[in-house]
Structure 1
Amino acid sequence: MALATKQPTDERPTIKQTVNTVKKIEDVHSSNIKKSTLNEYAQLAITEPNYLPPLNKSKLSSVQYKGDLDDHKAYEQFQQEKRRALESSFVSAVNSKVVTLENLLAKGRKQGMKQEQLQEAIDKIALLKKTQKHLINLNSGQEIY
Protein backbone atom coordinates (compact mmCIF):
# COMPACT_ATOMS: atom_id res chain seq x y z
CA MET A 1 0.00 0.00 0.00
CA ALA A 2 2.92 2.29 -0.62
CA LEU A 3 0.95 3.90 -3.45
CA ALA A 4 -1.95 4.78 -1.13
CA THR A 5 0.31 6.44 1.41
CA LYS A 6 1.70 8.83 -1.23
CA GLN A 7 -1.76 10.24 -1.96
CA PRO A 8 -3.12 12.95 0.29
CA THR A 9 -5.96 11.71 2.47
CA ASP A 10 -8.60 13.91 0.85
CA GLU A 11 -7.83 12.49 -2.68
CA ARG A 12 -8.10 8.81 -1.76
CA PRO A 13 -11.38 7.12 -2.73
CA THR A 14 -13.52 5.99 0.13
CA ILE A 15 -14.36 2.34 0.69
CA LYS A 16 -17.97 3.01 -0.32
CA GLN A 17 -16.85 4.54 -3.66
CA THR A 18 -14.57 1.57 -4.37
CA VAL A 19 -17.36 -0.95 -3.63
CA ASN A 20 -19.77 0.92 -5.94
CA THR A 21 -17.17 0.92 -8.74
CA VAL A 22 -16.65 -2.84 -8.39
CA LYS A 23 -20.44 -3.42 -8.47
CA LYS A 24 -20.71 -1.39 -11.69
CA ILE A 25 -17.93 -3.44 -13.28
CA GLU A 26 -19.64 -6.69 -12.22
CA ASP A 27 -22.93 -5.50 -13.76
CA VAL A 28 -21.23 -5.12 -17.14
CA HIS A 29 -19.56 -8.55 -16.96
CA SER A 30 -20.67 -10.88 -19.79
CA SER A 31 -21.98 -13.54 -17.38
CA ASN A 32 -24.65 -11.07 -16.20
CA ILE A 33 -25.96 -10.38 -19.73
CA LYS A 34 -29.03 -12.39 -20.66
CA LYS A 35 -28.35 -15.29 -23.02
CA SER A 36 -31.43 -14.44 -25.09
CA THR A 37 -30.03 -10.95 -25.75
CA LEU A 38 -26.76 -12.44 -26.98
CA ASN A 39 -28.62 -14.84 -29.28
CA GLU A 40 -30.73 -12.00 -30.69
CA TYR A 41 -27.60 -9.97 -31.47
CA ALA A 42 -25.93 -13.01 -33.00
CA GLN A 43 -28.92 -13.59 -35.28
CA LEU A 44 -28.83 -9.97 -36.38
CA ALA A 45 -25.11 -10.12 -37.10
CA ILE A 46 -25.20 -13.40 -39.01
CA THR A 47 -27.23 -12.90 -42.16
CA GLU A 48 -27.05 -14.30 -45.64
CA PRO A 49 -25.60 -11.93 -48.24
CA ASN A 50 -28.03 -10.53 -50.80
CA TYR A 51 -25.91 -11.63 -53.75
CA LEU A 52 -23.40 -14.40 -54.25
CA PRO A 53 -21.42 -14.26 -57.47
CA PRO A 54 -21.34 -17.46 -59.50
CA LEU A 55 -18.17 -19.48 -59.26
CA ASN A 56 -16.84 -20.55 -62.63
CA LYS A 57 -13.64 -22.42 -63.20
CA SER A 58 -11.44 -20.81 -65.79
CA LYS A 59 -10.84 -22.86 -68.89
CA LEU A 60 -7.39 -21.34 -69.25
CA SER A 61 -6.17 -22.43 -65.84
CA SER A 62 -6.94 -26.09 -66.60
CA VAL A 63 -4.45 -26.10 -69.49
CA GLN A 64 -1.26 -27.76 -68.27
CA TYR A 65 2.11 -27.96 -69.96
CA LYS A 66 2.74 -31.52 -71.06
CA GLY A 67 6.11 -31.13 -72.72
CA ASP A 68 9.62 -31.58 -71.42
CA LEU A 69 10.49 -29.04 -68.73
CA ASP A 70 14.11 -29.05 -69.90
CA ASP A 71 12.97 -27.63 -73.25
CA HIS A 72 12.90 -23.95 -72.27
CA LYS A 73 11.88 -22.69 -75.70
CA ALA A 74 8.87 -25.01 -75.86
CA TYR A 75 7.77 -24.00 -72.37
CA GLU A 76 8.20 -20.32 -73.19
CA GLN A 77 6.11 -20.79 -76.34
CA PHE A 78 3.44 -22.54 -74.25
CA GLN A 79 3.39 -19.59 -71.83
CA GLN A 80 3.11 -17.09 -74.71
CA GLU A 81 0.20 -19.02 -76.24
CA LYS A 82 -1.50 -19.11 -72.86
CA ARG A 83 -1.03 -15.34 -72.46
CA ARG A 84 -2.34 -14.69 -75.99
CA ALA A 85 -5.43 -16.78 -75.25
CA LEU A 86 -6.06 -14.76 -72.09
CA GLU A 87 -5.57 -11.48 -73.94
CA SER A 88 -7.85 -12.66 -76.73
CA SER A 89 -10.61 -13.53 -74.26
CA PHE A 90 -10.19 -10.10 -72.67
CA VAL A 91 -10.44 -8.35 -76.05
CA SER A 92 -13.61 -10.25 -76.93
CA ALA A 93 -15.20 -9.65 -73.51
CA VAL A 94 -14.59 -5.90 -73.52
CA ASN A 95 -17.35 -5.11 -76.00
CA SER A 96 -20.12 -6.71 -73.95
CA LYS A 97 -18.74 -5.23 -70.72
CA VAL A 98 -18.61 -1.74 -72.24
CA VAL A 99 -22.22 -2.06 -73.39
CA THR A 100 -23.27 -3.08 -69.87
CA LEU A 101 -21.34 -0.21 -68.28
CA GLU A 102 -22.74 2.31 -70.76
CA ASN A 103 -26.29 1.15 -69.98
CA LEU A 104 -25.61 1.51 -66.27
CA LEU A 105 -24.09 4.93 -66.90
CA ALA A 106 -27.20 6.08 -68.78
CA LYS A 107 -29.40 4.76 -65.98
CA GLY A 108 -27.24 6.58 -63.43
CA ARG A 109 -27.58 9.85 -65.33
CA LYS A 110 -31.38 9.46 -65.42
CA GLN A 111 -31.47 8.81 -61.67
CA GLY A 112 -29.33 11.87 -60.96
CA MET A 113 -26.18 10.26 -59.63
CA LYS A 114 -23.29 12.48 -58.62
CA GLN A 115 -20.82 13.44 -61.34
CA GLU A 116 -17.96 11.82 -59.35
CA GLN A 117 -19.68 8.44 -59.50
CA LEU A 118 -20.52 8.86 -63.18
CA GLN A 119 -16.93 9.88 -63.91
CA GLU A 120 -15.70 6.65 -62.33
CA ALA A 121 -17.78 4.64 -64.79
CA ILE A 122 -16.63 6.82 -67.68
CA ASP A 123 -13.00 6.27 -66.68
CA LYS A 124 -13.51 2.50 -66.47
CA ILE A 125 -15.05 2.41 -69.93
CA ALA A 126 -12.19 4.48 -71.35
CA LEU A 127 -9.59 2.25 -69.69
CA LEU A 128 -11.24 -0.93 -70.98
CA LYS A 129 -11.28 0.45 -74.54
CA LYS A 130 -7.68 1.67 -74.27
CA THR A 131 -6.49 -1.71 -72.96
CA GLN A 132 -8.42 -3.52 -75.69
CA LYS A 133 -6.87 -1.33 -78.38
CA HIS A 134 -3.40 -1.83 -76.86
CA LEU A 135 -3.81 -5.62 -76.86
CA ILE A 136 -5.08 -5.65 -80.44
CA ASN A 137 -2.09 -3.57 -81.57
CA LEU A 138 0.28 -5.70 -79.52
CA ASN A 139 -0.98 -8.92 -81.08
CA SER A 140 -0.85 -7.45 -84.58
CA GLY A 141 2.79 -6.57 -84.08
CA GLN A 142 2.35 -2.84 -83.54
CA GLU A 143 3.30 -2.20 -79.94
CA ILE A 144 1.71 1.16 -79.15
CA TYR A 145 1.30 2.61 -75.69
Structure 2
Amino acid sequence: MNDVAEFLAYAIKLEEDAAARFSDLAESMKTYGNQEIAEFFGKMAHFSRMHLAEARKRSGFHKMPVMKPEDFVWPDDESPEATSMEGSHYLMTAEYALDLALDSEERGFAFYDNIAKGTKDPEVRMMAEEFALEEAEHVAELKKWVSRYKAA
Protein backbone atom coordinates (compact mmCIF):
# COMPACT_ATOMS: atom_id res chain seq x y z
CA MET A 1 0.00 0.00 0.00
CA ASN A 2 1.65 3.18 -1.18
CA ASP A 3 -1.15 5.76 -0.99
CA VAL A 4 -1.79 7.73 2.22
CA ALA A 5 -5.51 8.23 1.55
CA GLU A 6 -5.99 4.52 0.85
CA PHE A 7 -4.09 3.64 4.03
CA LEU A 8 -6.30 5.99 6.06
CA ALA A 9 -9.47 4.53 4.52
CA TYR A 10 -8.35 1.09 5.69
CA ALA A 11 -7.32 2.41 9.12
CA ILE A 12 -10.70 4.10 9.59
CA LYS A 13 -12.57 0.91 8.72
CA LEU A 14 -10.31 -1.23 10.89
CA GLU A 15 -10.71 1.07 13.90
CA GLU A 16 -14.50 1.24 13.40
CA ASP A 17 -14.53 -2.55 13.52
CA ALA A 18 -12.32 -2.64 16.62
CA ALA A 19 -14.52 -0.17 18.50
CA ALA A 20 -17.66 -2.11 17.56
CA ARG A 21 -16.08 -5.43 18.55
CA PHE A 22 -14.94 -4.19 21.95
CA SER A 23 -18.35 -2.61 22.59
CA ASP A 24 -20.05 -5.90 21.67
CA LEU A 25 -17.71 -7.87 23.92
CA ALA A 26 -18.31 -5.40 26.78
CA GLU A 27 -22.06 -5.86 26.44
CA SER A 28 -21.66 -9.65 26.27
CA MET A 29 -19.61 -9.69 29.44
CA LYS A 30 -22.22 -7.54 31.22
CA THR A 31 -24.88 -10.01 30.12
CA TYR A 32 -22.78 -12.95 31.33
CA GLY A 33 -22.14 -11.27 34.67
CA ASN A 34 -18.49 -10.29 34.43
CA GLN A 35 -18.42 -6.57 35.18
CA GLU A 36 -14.63 -6.41 35.48
CA ILE A 37 -14.05 -7.70 31.94
CA ALA A 38 -16.96 -5.61 30.66
CA GLU A 39 -15.26 -2.47 32.01
CA PHE A 40 -11.93 -3.51 30.48
CA PHE A 41 -13.54 -4.06 27.06
CA GLY A 42 -15.32 -0.71 27.47
CA LYS A 43 -11.93 0.97 27.95
CA MET A 44 -10.54 -0.83 24.91
CA ALA A 45 -13.55 0.36 22.86
CA HIS A 46 -12.77 3.91 24.03
CA PHE A 47 -9.14 3.59 22.89
CA SER A 48 -10.29 2.27 19.51
CA ARG A 49 -12.64 5.24 19.14
CA MET A 50 -9.71 7.55 19.95
CA HIS A 51 -7.61 5.86 17.23
CA LEU A 52 -10.56 6.15 14.86
CA ALA A 53 -10.86 9.88 15.59
CA GLU A 54 -7.14 10.32 14.92
CA ALA A 55 -7.38 8.48 11.59
CA ARG A 56 -10.41 10.56 10.60
CA LYS A 57 -8.60 13.76 11.58
CA ARG A 58 -5.62 12.82 9.43
CA SER A 59 -7.91 11.95 6.53
CA GLY A 60 -9.20 15.53 6.48
CA PHE A 61 -6.01 16.52 4.70
CA HIS A 62 -6.46 14.03 1.85
CA LYS A 63 -8.91 13.33 -0.94
CA MET A 64 -10.30 10.10 0.44
CA PRO A 65 -11.40 7.26 -1.80
CA VAL A 66 -15.04 6.26 -1.57
CA MET A 67 -14.92 2.60 -0.62
CA LYS A 68 -17.82 0.20 -0.19
CA PRO A 69 -17.29 -2.83 2.08
CA GLU A 70 -16.59 -5.06 -0.92
CA ASP A 71 -13.84 -2.67 -2.12
CA PHE A 72 -11.59 -3.49 0.82
CA VAL A 73 -9.08 -6.27 0.22
CA TRP A 74 -8.25 -7.75 3.61
CA PRO A 75 -6.02 -10.62 4.63
CA ASP A 76 -8.31 -13.59 5.24
CA ASP A 77 -11.14 -11.75 3.42
CA GLU A 78 -12.32 -9.72 6.42
CA SER A 79 -11.15 -6.77 8.45
CA PRO A 80 -8.50 -7.98 10.90
CA GLU A 81 -10.41 -6.47 13.80
CA ALA A 82 -13.88 -7.68 12.86
CA THR A 83 -14.50 -10.52 15.24
CA SER A 84 -17.42 -12.73 14.48
CA MET A 85 -19.81 -12.84 17.38
CA GLU A 86 -20.86 -16.35 16.33
CA GLY A 87 -18.89 -17.56 19.29
CA SER A 88 -21.01 -15.47 21.63
CA HIS A 89 -23.38 -17.63 23.59
CA TYR A 90 -24.87 -17.81 27.04
CA LEU A 91 -21.92 -19.84 28.29
CA MET A 92 -19.26 -17.44 26.94
CA THR A 93 -16.42 -17.27 29.42
CA ALA A 94 -14.16 -14.34 30.13
CA GLU A 95 -11.23 -16.43 28.87
CA TYR A 96 -12.94 -17.05 25.54
CA ALA A 97 -13.89 -13.37 25.11
CA LEU A 98 -10.33 -12.33 25.91
CA ASP A 99 -8.98 -14.87 23.41
CA LEU A 100 -11.31 -13.47 20.71
CA ALA A 101 -10.12 -9.95 21.42
CA LEU A 102 -6.45 -10.96 21.52
CA ASP A 103 -6.72 -12.75 18.18
CA SER A 104 -8.23 -9.66 16.57
CA GLU A 105 -5.66 -7.30 18.03
CA GLU A 106 -2.82 -9.55 16.88
CA ARG A 107 -4.29 -9.55 13.37
CA GLY A 108 -4.64 -5.75 13.53
CA PHE A 109 -0.99 -5.44 14.54
CA ALA A 110 0.10 -7.78 11.72
CA PHE A 111 -1.95 -5.79 9.20
CA TYR A 112 -0.29 -2.48 10.08
CA ASP A 113 3.14 -4.07 10.53
CA ASN A 114 2.98 -5.69 7.09
CA ILE A 115 2.06 -2.37 5.50
CA ALA A 116 4.93 -0.62 7.31
CA LYS A 117 7.39 -3.23 6.08
CA GLY A 118 6.06 -3.35 2.52
CA THR A 119 5.28 0.24 1.57
CA LYS A 120 7.53 2.45 -0.49
CA ASP A 121 5.82 5.62 0.75
CA PRO A 122 7.54 7.14 3.80
CA GLU A 123 4.36 8.79 5.11
CA VAL A 124 2.41 5.53 4.89
CA ARG A 125 5.32 3.76 6.61
CA MET A 126 5.37 6.30 9.43
CA MET A 127 1.61 6.05 10.01
CA ALA A 128 1.56 2.25 9.72
CA GLU A 129 4.40 1.98 12.25
CA GLU A 130 2.53 4.30 14.62
CA PHE A 131 -0.72 2.34 14.28
CA ALA A 132 1.17 -0.96 14.67
CA LEU A 133 2.70 0.34 17.91
CA GLU A 134 -0.76 1.17 19.25
CA GLU A 135 -1.95 -2.32 18.33
CA ALA A 136 1.11 -3.84 20.00
CA GLU A 137 0.16 -2.01 23.21
CA HIS A 138 -3.33 -3.50 22.99
CA VAL A 139 -1.88 -6.97 22.40
CA ALA A 140 0.38 -6.62 25.44
CA GLU A 141 -2.50 -5.48 27.65
CA LEU A 142 -4.75 -8.30 26.45
CA LYS A 143 -1.99 -10.86 27.05
CA LYS A 144 -1.83 -9.68 30.68
CA TRP A 145 -5.59 -10.17 31.07
CA VAL A 146 -5.52 -13.55 29.32
CA SER A 147 -2.71 -14.71 31.60
CA ARG A 148 -4.51 -13.42 34.66
CA TYR A 149 -7.76 -15.20 33.82
CA LYS A 150 -6.07 -18.45 32.85
CA ALA A 151 -4.22 -18.42 36.17
CA ALA A 152 -7.44 -17.87 38.14
TM-score, normalised to structure 2's length? 0.37
Structure number with the bigger relative contact order (C-alpha 8 A, sep ≥ 6) is 2
**More helix by percentage:** 2
Larger Rg: 1
